[in-house]
Structure 1
């Protein structure tokens, strides 16, 4: 493969030669090294196609088509340029006519030119092309032949044709000189007559500038493709570096994670112990502030009285429990007697209350 390309047996040189032969192909040197058969295919294709991927016959046909298109475009541009120049002349005449007096023959000339342009434009718009239907209804029932009836008189047209070349040449000469002054500002301070020689060289200068701009554009495109490849390679290298850093960080993190966790555990244990001691100290301080000597003695007296009451209540509870136990031994018969006793006690209480009420009533 190196021999076919006329290069020494160097893989990098071969890869660069292949990439230079196909600048529009989105392939890197790494792709070519990983796919040697694809590299051989591209090397073989480099002898049959150009940098744009075109074969010899196809390139010839494309050049012929471009030449034909350029000739047709040139004809169209000539017509459009001539029409535009005439429109500019008419517009300039209208501006001059508004600001100053204009000779009548000059006004007649420009009016004739304007009418001829308008009629020609209408006739061209009404004339069906080869791609449209011939039997399509015309606009407002107008035909090109009907529109041509509005042309100025033959004498006016003939006089216009005689004056038009000189007027058009003068207008174009002024435009060219204006463009020359824009392209070469130093020409504006000179006399206009000597610069007519320079106008003949203006086309060559423009072609040279255009060629220079195209060369710069081509070099810029090549540099952009090279920059894209270098950027892609740089990004791939950066991705590999990031992966290596991630693996390194992960390994070191797993290695030192145990020691880090142990240190954290010791730290939190010490912190918890410190907080618990602080809580105990605060509790002692609160107790010292709350319980003074007088309050402690008073609490002792209260405790003694409560304990004595507790003992009396406990003794009463024991006696009641013994009575309940004795009642439980008597069984269900005692329950009936107890209920009857309760009812009798209620009746006695009611009768005692009634006697008291009667006694108070008798006293009154």
Structure 2
């Protein structure tokens, strides 16, 4: 049943993207995006309905009116306080100027005493103290302080000339402010300066509003700069990560080509070293084997080959004899061994006979 008024409010704002834009515009301080409103349509409707009852800052309209009234009252009290405070400061400045110039004028002395007495009376006033039972300073009361006021005649004379002197002092301050605010007017006539003073307040208000506007713009630019800096840093981190991945892929791809080139280089270097070794070996052979040594080695080789052939023939004949002996069996093997033993004994006896002294004499 309650959906009817809500739907009326929503339809009055708009539909779709238009509704989203109006909701976002109605709550500029709320960090909500169109994607959030699209994903949460009920929340979007709630904000659309709520925008009919609150201002962009989030205050309800009755509360905003009360706040405006309170601010107006506060501004009024502030203006009243600033008025009194500026007058008090102006009087103090006049007294300070009088003390610096060392002028013994009854007017300034009377005004100084009146200000001191008024300040002391305000300090001793029990109505301004938070604790009513608090003892007074040095046991004094306001009536005792009022007795220190200058004579009534001097006070009346001071009051009579106070406005004129205060006006001179304030005008002097305004002229100094005008000279600071617009130095080009310092050399102008008194009439032009007075005319310019009448517009000084409006110009100061314009300058103040401009300064506040620039301050707000600076604050917004600072926030925007921070957001852009964060966005820039995040994008920079993504770029660095992408660059690192590209470097890694490129390095892995190049590493294969580099390894192949290194392998080809080492293979070529090994071939060069082998060729150099062969060249050194050939050089050593050329230095070692001259023409004469080669012919001598060739003759030696021929003799050794002929001797080898003779040995092979003899070996062949011996193998034939051994084959014929194998046919005779094991009995002949025993006789052959006995023959070999007797042959060895005969050789030993012959060697002994040849080695004996009698044989040498013969």
TM-score normalized by structure 1? Answer: 0.59
Is there any run of 5+ residues in structure 1 with no aligned partner, and where?
274-364
In the TM superposition, residue 52 of structure 1 has moved relative to its aligned partner by: 2.3
In the TM superposition, residue 142 of structure 1 has moved relative to its aligned partner by: 1.9
The answer (yes or no) to whether the contact 2:10–2:49 under 8 Å persists in 1 is no
The residue aligned with 1:96 is 101
CA distance in 2, matches of 1:225, 1:30: 23
The residue aligned with 1:137 is 135
| SS of alignment partner, residue 89 of structure 2 | helix
Q: Does 1:78 align with 2:83?
A: yes
In the TM superposition, residue 59 of structure 1 has moved relative to its aligned partner by: 1.2
CA distance in 2, matches of 1:54, 1:38: 19
In the TM superposition, residue 128 of structure 1 has moved relative to its aligned partner by: 3.7
CA deviation string 1:124-153 (max 9, x = no partner): 122245560111111211222222221111
Is there any run of 5+ residues in structure 2 with no aligned partner, and where?
1-8, 271-362
The answer (yes or no) to whether the contact 2:122–2:128 under 8 Å persists in 1 is no
**Cα distance 1:255–1:2, how it changes in 2: closer, same or farther (>3 A)?**
farther
| SS of alignment partner, residue 189 of structure 1 | coil
**Cα distance 1:2–1:68, how it changes in 2: closer, same or farther (>3 A)?**
closer
The residue aligned with 1:166 is 164
The answer (yes or no) to whether the contact 1:119–1:147 under 8 Å persists in 2 is yes
**Cα distance 1:58–1:130, how it changes in 2: closer, same or farther (>3 A)?**
farther
Larger radius of gyration: 2
Q: Does 1:54 align with 2:52?
A: no
CA distance in 2, matches of 1:58, 1:127: 38
The answer (yes or no) to whether the contact 2:95–2:108 under 8 Å persists in 1 is yes
The residue aligned with 1:210 is 208
CA distance in 2, matches of 1:5, 1:239: 41
| SS of alignment partner, residue 71 of structure 2 | helix
The answer (yes or no) to whether the contact 2:121–2:142 under 8 Å persists in 1 is yes
**Cα distance 1:240–1:57, how it changes in 2: closer, same or farther (>3 A)?**
farther
TM-score normalized by structure 2? Answer: 0.59
CA deviation string 1:174-221 (max 9, x = no partner): 111111121111211012233212211111222222223333334444
Matches within 5 A, 1:191-340: 191-231=189-229, 233-234=231-232, 237=235, 252=249
CA deviation string 1:39-68 (max 9, x = no partner): 544444333333322221111111111111
CA distance in 1, matches of 2:161, 2:129: 38
In the TM superposition, residue 78 of structure 1 has moved relative to its aligned partner by: 1.2
The answer (yes or no) to whether the contact 1:2–1:14 under 8 Å persists in 2 is no
RMSD of the TM alignment (CA)? 4.1
Taking CA–CA contacts closer than 8 Å with sequence separation of 6 or more, which of the two structures ends up with the larger relative contact order?
Answer: 1
**Cα distance 1:114–1:200, how it changes in 2: closer, same or farther (>3 A)?**
same
CA distance in 2, matches of 1:215, 1:223: 12
